[in-house]
Amino acid sequence: MTRLSVNINKIATLRNARGGNVPDLIQVAIDAQKFGAQGITIHPRPDERHIRYQDAVDLKPIVYTEFNIEGNPQSKFLSLIEKLRPDQVTLVPDADDAITSNAGWDTVRHQDKLREIIAACKNIGVRTSIFVAPELKMIEGAAACGTDRIELYTEAYAHQYPLNPEKAVAPYAAAAVLAHELGLGINAGHDLSLENIEYFAKNVPNLAEVSIGHALICEALYQGLETVIQSYLKKLAH
């Protein structure tokens, strides 16, 4: 079964819009795990416009499933990883002003940098994952960096899925096959939703984990968080 990690960034966005502590990010993380989430994902950015660095510290004691922290490996971010030692760090090459992640790593161009960062994370016992597009050259580059896993950047799949699901998923399936052959674990995330997740999970082999935030929180506005998490788990149980 593919595991579900719930990205709670959007809960922090809603809280920050009004100030105070409503909704309570910590309580949402506790509840998401109680409802069946197998991990909690956060993605702090330098401007802390949603998840704050203090949130990461506060979440550490209450995440008993898997704590996955995503971000651009700048010095402040890496210091946070060294301090908290989450279960997994996902390295994402997003710009400081990016609204959301919009590109995977060029694992060939940045191979030396990534290799050094990954080695440092693994030395403190943190599993590493690299955010990459489903390009075979980038998968090979990720393996050469020494990462434990990759996270396939699924925006293109989500956009193409309504038009041609088979064509949309094909490059991801090929990337997953190669990644598995190279000894990499396979995660995925970005724009996955209740509409497209089941087809993706059934057609991408050896998919270990998906990280879902924006769509899941939007769906929960109508259906409730517990119902939505349970719906994802059913679709991932193939």
**Which one from 50, 151, 190, 219 is the annotated catalytic residue?**
190
User: What does the alpha-carbon distance between residue 80 and residue 173 come to, in Å, rounded to a whole number?
Assistant: 33
First-last CA distance in the chain: 6
CATH at 126: 3.20.20.70
Q: How many domains does the chain have?
A: 1
DSSP 151: E
Q: Is 70 a catalytic residue?
A: yes
Residue 176 has which token pair? 């997953």
55-94: b (≥16 Cβ within 10 Å) or e: bbeebeeebebbbbbbbbbeeebbebbeebebbbbbbbbb
State the pLDDT at residue 104: 86
Q: Is 180 a catalytic residue?
A: no
Q: Is 219 a catalytic residue?
A: no
Domain that holds residue 44: 3-236
Which tens digits make up the pLDDT trace of 184-235? 999 999 999 999 999 999 999 999 999 999 999 999 999 999 999 999 999 9
Which tens digits make up the pLDDT trace of 10-21? 999 999 999 999
Candidates 114, 104, 108, 117; CA nearest to 156 is 104
